[in-house]
Amino acid sequence: MTPLLEARDVVKRYGDVQALQGVTLSVREGEFVSIIGPNGAGKTTLVNVLTGLLRPTSGRVTFRGQDVAGVGPVRLAELGMARSFQLVSVFPALTVAETLAVPALARLGRAGRFFASLSRDAAVAERVAEMAGLFGLADKLERPARTLAQGDKKLLDVASAFALRPEVILMDEPTSGVSTRDKTLIMETLVQAAKRLGVKAIVQVEHDMDIVFGYSDRIVALHQGRVLADAVPEVIRADDEVVATVLGKPR
């Protein structure tokens, strides 16, 4: 099966620092892929390269066979790939409905008419209501997003990415900073929403190993900018080198 998203021999340098050293990975339809690794392994840099925020120093990134290196998140969303961006932090004064309207308007090509569209555009209102319903935020639409509990803020961040109606979604630490109970709620909500909306693949960076092993079809372990392992959870769990190096546990 042809990969939806693929990186081949990707190198990313910041001056003399080489954050990624020949990274190759692929994501196919139906997969939930988690990227793990210790701090400084290159996880966020890799996501930034995959989502077009950063152009690799060398190597190739393709989405559905098209070179997307450095195209930026707006163009990438038009092509069918989206990333969660913590819009609550970016636009703290917006309500939940307004926060969900930002990506909805972008997806519909109406980003320049934000407030007029929010109140008068039936398609935008429908998209906002759909996302709020899927992510348990329907009763919070008029609340300022900054006043939400941390778990609901995370759900809103993820819902905002889903509002772009992507085929592939990438998330950086979708459950960080929330309780164990909320982590499970976020992941269950996310997976069910992906099924309902026809999302074809999910990629996440995640530190919580219970979440990683509980939801991933495949795990990519990074260390010092290289792929240390790329395998199903059972193989990763049984790999002494990965356990010692990435998970910080003795062999």
179 and 60 share a domain?
yes
Last residue of a domain, one of 163, 186, 209: 163
| pLDDT on residue 250 | 56
- Helix (H/G/I), strand (E/B), else coil: 223: strand
Question: What is the arithmetic mean of pLDDT over 112-125?
Answer: 65
Strand partners, 23: 10
| pLDDT on residue 42 | 94
AA identity, residue 5: L
Question: Which band of pLDDT confidence, cut at 50, 70 and 90, is reported for residue 172?
Answer: confident
Residue 120 has pLDDT above 70, yes or no: no
* Pairing assessment for the beta strands 201-205 and 218-223 based on DSSP bridges: unpaired
60 and 180 share a domain?
yes
Last residue of a domain, one of 163, 189, 213: 163
Strand partners, 204: 34, 171
144 and 107 share a domain?
yes
219 and 235 share a domain?
yes
Structural domain includes residue 251: no
Distance CA 1, CA 6 (A): 12
Distance CA 66, CA 159 (A): 26
Q: What is the pLDDT of residues 196-242, one digit of tens each?
A: 999 999 999 998 999 999 999 999 999 999 999 999 999 999 988 88
**DSSP code for 54:** S
226 and 177 share a domain?
yes
Residue ranges making up the domain that contains 192: 1-80+166-246
93 and 73 share a domain?
no
204 and 105 share a domain?
no
* Pairing assessment for the beta strands 5-14 and 32-36 based on DSSP bridges: unpaired
Phi then psi for residue 192, to 5 deg, are -65, -40
Structural domain includes residue 184: yes
Structural domain includes residue 27: yes
Q: What is the pLDDT of residues 24-57, one digit of tens each?
A: 999 999 999 999 999 889 998 999 999 888 999 9
Contact 43, 222 (CB under 8 A): yes
Q: Between 175 and 91, whose confidence is greater? A: 175
152 and 127 share a domain?
yes
50 and 98 share a domain?
no
Structural domain includes residue 6: yes
- Select from 194, 175, 227, 203 the least CA-distant residue to 33: 203
**Number of folded domains that form the chain:** 2
- Select from 209, 218, 144, 222 the least CA-distant residue to 183: 209
27 and 42 share a domain?
yes
Extract the tokens encoding 231. Answer: 């395998």
72 and 179 share a domain?
yes
Last residue of a domain, one of 113, 145, 163: 163
| pLDDT on residue 197 | 93
Structural domain includes residue 153: yes
CATH code of the domain in which 191 resides: 3.40.50.300
Contact 71, 52 (CB under 8 A): yes
Contact 164, 105 (CB under 8 A): no
Q: What is the pLDDT of residues 74-118, one digit of tens each?
A: 888 889 999 887 666 767 789 999 999 888 887 776 655 555 555
| pLDDT on residue 61 | 95
**pTM metric for this prediction:** 0.89
Extract the tokens encoding 20. Answer: 């990624």
